[in-house]
Amino acid sequence: MRKFYSVLAASLLAASAFAQTNMNLKKEINPVKRSFSNLNNKELRKADPTSNWYFPSDFIADQATYQSSINVLMGDTSAKWINTDGTIRYGSAVDGAMAQVIDPKDDNIDLMSTSQVPKLSKFTNFTVDSIAFQYAYVRRVDSVDNASVVDTLFVYYFKGTQINTSNALVKAGETKTTKFGMLGWNFVSRTPDNYIGIDTILLDKSFATKLPDANGWDGSLMRWKVKTPVSVNTANGTSRNSLIAYAIKFKAGMAYDTSYVLEDRRDATQIPTDTKWVNYFSGTVSSNTGPAIENEVFFNSYLSSPGAFSYEKSSLGWTGWYPGYGYENYVYSSFGAFLTSTNVGLQEKTNNFVLGNAFPNPSNGEVSISFRMKSNDNVNISVYNLLGAKVAEVANGTFTTGEHTVNANLGNLKAGVYLYSMTTGAASQTQKLIIAE
């Protein structure tokens, strides 16, 4: 399986944990704890387009051939990783944390062949109450001195005001600028900084995945409801306000030093029987195997904190975190969030259609209105003033099952508040539209 390659120097390549490892994710695992699920991303999908699981890694899965790899997380960099040739690596084998910034406005949603995820405009309010991610938890030590080992996973949550979107760098030899979001990092505690909430998950042996072999690592999917749901109010329409993010950090439940081994990738016959092991946790990432999928508009960003970066080393303006944009092939994490649009009423769930938000809104006259048909039907979409008078007709005809978008030029309307209404048969739904000066 092809490895990831950094656009930076060879020294930074060595600092990337997942640049050195491959992972074979299994769709079926033994769900031994209620936090587990044996569902893959697409099987999590619901039929309801008003709320659904959102996995940025699916952008790659549905657009190109992709590969999955692991990102090893540890509390510090003292334990060693032994390569297949016997080379010992300290520090460069692990990351302090990994994170994903999520931008639910991303146009890539439209390219996801099997997804029914709602693409939210920057004016759409929504809530995140559950998250999920694929992982490998390698647990070789169950007890120390007759005491059970309990490792800890920390999950941090962020909303848009805590995400920096000012870091837009141009790669060497390119003219376009790629957007990405960046989180804060605390170099004293070596943890993500400025978060809105945190969950602590105690990992015992019931969470462990199958030990890796010559073919790589098996994975599982973990999901749960967060203690502090993230509610996103996008009333002012700024792109940053509709962003969310979360990060994970792992802490081993036992003391260890440089004599302990994280992983030994040599042939099993070369590994001493008295090897001192330490448990580790790995998140997963995906990369397309072709040209990088650049992102010049939206802020979906994978982030990792390589060992050196977590100790205040910086490169190309990146400190603490290293963005997925820094790799030759754009990287996404396997994080997923369950988004529920709070702008959607119950009526939409019973009608033959779901009317989406007008975009942009407010508009200077050019507007797009999206909707989903549950079956073929006649559709009329018209615009009304607040007195109830019809001032424009946007669509009138038969539309087939599936997603549709209609465009309209309402530049002849005076600035103010209007209503746009969609009608099929006896069912109708209305939303607000603002025409700006």
Q: What is the pLDDT of residues 382-411, one digit of tens each?
A: 998 877 788 999 999 998 887 788 888 998
What confidence score (pLDDT) does residue 112 get?
A: 67
What confidence score (pLDDT) does residue 153 get?
A: 93
What DSSP element (H or E) covers 229?
Answer: strand 220-232
| pLDDT > 80? residue 141 | yes
Whole-number Å distance between alpha carbons of 192 and 202: 19
Does residue 296 contact residue 106 with C-beta atoms inside 8 Å?
no
What DSSP element (H or E) covers 371?
Answer: strand 366-373
Tens of pLDDT, residues 421-436: 888 876 777 778 888 8
Q: Which residues make Cβ contacts (< 8 Å) with residue 400, sequence separation at least 6?
A: 373, 376
| pLDDT > 90? residue 274 | yes
User: Residue 247: beta bridge partners?
Assistant: 99, 156
136 vs 216: which has the higher pLDDT: 136
Dihedral sign from CA coordinates of 99, 101, 107, 109: positive
Select from 377, 374, 411 the least CA-distant residue to 395: 377
Output the pTM of the full model. 0.71
Domains observed in the chain: 10-341 (no CATH), 347-435 (2.60.40.2550)
| pLDDT > 50? residue 44 | yes
Q: Where are the alpha helices (DSSP H) in 261-409?
A: 347-350
What confidence score (pLDDT) does residue 171 get?
A: 57
Question: Chain-wide mean pLDDT for the chain?
Answer: 77
C-alpha angle with apex 86: 149 to 98, nearest 5 degrees?
50
What confidence score (pLDDT) does residue 100 get?
A: 93
Select from 284, 403, 338, 248 the least CA-distant residue to 44: 338
- Overall average pLDDT of the 187-211 stretch: 89
DSSP 8-state secondary structure symbol assigned to residue 13: H
Split at pLDDT 50, 70, 90, the class of 9 is very low
Does residue 182 contact residue 324 with C-beta atoms inside 8 Å?
no
State residue 309 phi and psi, 5-degree precision. Answer: -65, -35
The gap from C-alpha 269 to its chain's centroid, in whole angstroms, comes to 39
Q: What percent of the chain has pLDDT over 70?
A: 76
